[in-house]
Every structure is written in structure tokens, then in C-alpha cells.
Amino acid sequence: MVESIALGDFIVTLYLIHFGFSLLAAELRNLKWSVAAIVVQSLTLSGILITFANIGSNPSLYWWGFATLGTKVFAIPYLLWLYIRRLPTAETRPWLGTIPSVGVMLVLVVVFYNFLHTHVEFIAPSLEAALEPARSNLALSLTICALGLWVLLVRRDAVKAVIGLVLLENGVHLALVTLAPTLPETTLIGIVTNVIITVWLLLYLAGRIFKVLGTTDTAMLSELKH
């Protein structure tokens, strides 16, 4: 019993670390550091899955945890690394400067999290999901989804756009394991909905565009509008 409570607290801690590194991945202007933040963020996701497998009645989550380790901790950051090693370390200058961007993002994150946490019954499909700690964890997961969308909307760098997509997907996966940690089907969903091929293809196309344009600025991709 005591061990189970300790593991429960450990999961909450992992969620918070995951959230913190999601913020760093979104805001760090150095692409290499941003990718490093994604590695730690994905590592905590893998840790959350393995801990759920350890405390619950669903050992199949080990498979998802190890698949996450292989794809999100190693493969996706490796693909990102292959791409950014040819580029300047700093990301393309975003629409907002560092301080306003961090400020706006923090305000949005706090407001969004508080709103979700207060009104979680609206989105929680079951009573268990509306109780702590699932309540806070679900609110955190959906805030990470919103963070991913925010990155996709305001950042101009092609690598940052891919990082936004990864954040969005990790947020959805975190919501999935928060809402349904006990069913083996959850593992199947988590593994088959991995976006690794999409990430590879996006980076490949971004690389080809970089060869032609000499930039990863997505705002430059506007020729077709004219």
C-alpha cells in the first residue's frame, strides 16, 4: 500500500518534470538544446508508462514504454539531430522576442491549466478521471497539447514546427494513459499512433526546401500565395 502511494507520487512528479521539459522544448531558442529537452520529455513519458505498468494491472504498458524509449527518446531526436547539424544552432527568429514569448506562453499555460483543472468534469469521460491525481494529470496532458499547438502557430522555424507536432502527440498519448491505464488496447493505440514516419518525412521535405531556399523559415514558404 505504502509502496503504491509512493509510486503514485512518483508518477505525479514525472508528469511535472514532463511538463517542465515540454515548456523548455517549446521556448529554448537553441535548436540543439530544444531537441535535448524533447529527449528528457520523452524519457519521462516512457518512465510514466513503465511506472503505470509496474503499479497497475496492465503489464502490456511495458511494451509501450519501451517502444516510446526506442522511437521518441532515440529515433525522433536522432532524426532531428541529423537535420539540425547542418543548420545554424539558433532557430529562425520567431514572431515574438524571447521575453514576450515566454511571458505570453506562461500566462496562457497557467490560464489553460487552471481552466481545465476547474472544469475537468466537462472533458473527463469517467468519474475516476475527475478525481485526483488523474484530474491534475489530465489537465497537464491537455495543456501540453495546447502548448504544441501554440508552438505550431507562433514559431517560424521548420524544426520548431516538428517539435510542436511531437509535443502535441505526446500530450495526446499522456491523456490516453491517464484516462485508460488498465486496458491492453491502450498499449496498442499508443504504439500504432506514433508519428515517427510523419516526422521523418517532414524533416526530409524541410531539408530539400533548405537546399533550395537556404533557410528553415516557414514564413518564407509563401510563394504559392502569390
| Residue 154 is a binding residue for other proteins (CB under 8 A) | no
As a whole number of angstroms, the distance between CA 107 and CA 101 comes to 10
If you count DSSP H runs as helices and E runs as strands, how many of each does the chain have, helices first? 9, 0
As a whole number of angstroms, the distance between CA 164 and CA 158 comes to 10
Figure out which of the listed residues 152, 154, 196, 215 binds other proteins, where binding follows CB under 8 A: 152
Q: Using the minimum distance from each CB to other proteins, give the nearer residue, 1 or 197.
A: 197
From residue 32, how far is each of 77, 82, 100, 153, 219 by CA, in Å? 10, 11, 22, 21, 21
| Residue 125 is a binding residue for other proteins (CB under 8 A) | yes
Figure out which of the listed residues 25, 168, 187, 217 binds other proteins, where binding follows CB under 8 A: 168
One symbol per residue from 35 to 74: x for binding other proteins (CB under 8 A), - otherwise; what is it? ----------------------------------------
One symbol per residue from 183 to 202: x for binding other proteins (CB under 8 A), - otherwise; what is it? xxx--xx--xx-x-xx--xx
| Residue 214 is a binding residue for other proteins (CB under 8 A) | no
Name the β-bridge partners of 189: none
Yes or no: say if 51 and 17 are a contact pair by the CB < 8 Å rule: no
| Residue 122 is a binding residue for other proteins (CB under 8 A) | yes
Residue type (1 letter), 112: F
Yes or no: say if 146 and 134 are a contact pair by the CB < 8 Å rule: no
As a whole number of angstroms, the distance between CA 146 and CA 152 comes to 10
Residues that bind other proteins (CB under 8 A): 121-126, 129, 145, 149, 152, 158, 161, 164-165, 168-169, 172, 175-176, 179-180, 183-185, 188-189, 192-193, 195, 197-198, 201-202, 205-206, 208-209, 212-213, 221, 223-224
